[in-house]
Amino acid sequence: MLAMETGHQAQRSDSLTKKYSSIWRRFSRREPRNGATGTGPGMRPTKPQILSNGLHTHTHTEDLRPQRSATTKLRKRPQISEPIRMSNRPQISEPIKMSNKVIIAHWQDFDVPHQRSEMRATASDMQTTPFPKNQRDVQTVAWNVYLDPNQVYNLFMGFRPQRMEEKWFVYSEGPDQSGKLKVHFHRSWTGHKIAELFVLIDLKGEGAGKIVGIKWNRSEQTNGMDEEEAKYMVSTTCAWVLGVKLENTVL
């Protein structure tokens, strides 16, 4: 009896073994989904499948990480047909040459109308100083400028400053019997003598005249002012404070 039961159990065990082995052979012959095999990194398992005998197993899909397509084409940047122009400024063919000459600059308001003084300015109206004693700091050159009677009169009357920004004190000496007149130009702030004009007046005629020479201070007080600068300064000062516009200011 026991021997028969043992025989039946052995046969049952052999049949189960054959059954399970046939099931595994059947699954091993199946191809995984999308042809992926193994359990390497990047493989994601699918949901468990339920077999007819109650066993569970997992199959794996292919690597789901995005792959760069080998057929991707690079886009070329558009080419600019013409270069971009940053500025329309003209090009300078030659370098700009800078002068080493020191030029005295001073502000003068030409918009202020000239008012003729009713009283003649005299040397005693302000405290002044003469030209430097060193003759090398003073220079005299000839100058030929025509003056009409009205201009001669304004130089004769001179200018007495009323405000600090007027900067200049101008007075004259003469004329003598030969018609010689000297016109002195001083800085009103310091009293320094800057220039002197030599004027010759036609006393027998209508009172016209001409400038025949100029003398100026070229010391450190004026930064070594040269002839051109001296004539320019006297011309602008005459136009500003005396209302006298000199012709042919640089000869």
Provide the domain count of the chain.
Answer: 1
Give a yes or no: residue 127 inside a domain: yes
Give a yes or no: residue 83 inside a domain: no
Give a yes or no: residue 26 inside a domain: no
Query: For 135, phi and psi rounded to 5 degrees?
Result: -65, -20
Give a yes or no: residue 250 inside a domain: no
Give a yes or no: residue 167 inside a domain: yes
pTM recorded for the entire structure: 0.55
Per-residue DSSP letter, 60: B
The domain spanning residue 207 has which CATH number? 3.30.530
- For residue 213, the cross-strand partners are 142, 198
Give a yes or no: residue 164 inside a domain: yes
Give a yes or no: residue 108 inside a domain: no
Give a yes or no: residue 49 inside a domain: no
- Arithmetic mean of pLDDT, 29-35: 53
- Closest to 198 in 3D by CA, of 142, 250, 157, 236: 142
Query: pLDDT digit string (tens) for 162-198?
Result: 887 788 999 999 999 999 999 999 998 899 999 999 9
Query: pLDDT digit string (tens) for 118-170?
Result: 799 999 999 999 999 998 999 999 999 999 999 999 999 999 998 877 889 99
CA dihedral (107, 113, 114, 117) in degrees, to 10, reads -120
Cα–Cα distance measured from residue 235 to residue 232, given in angstroms and rounded to the nearest whole number: 5
Cα–Cα distance measured from residue 97 to residue 225, given in angstroms and rounded to the nearest whole number: 21
Query: pLDDT digit string (tens) for 4-19?
Result: 555 555 555 555 555 5
The residue type at 193: K
Q: Name residue, tokens 């036609």.
A: 202
Domain containing residue 150? 123-242
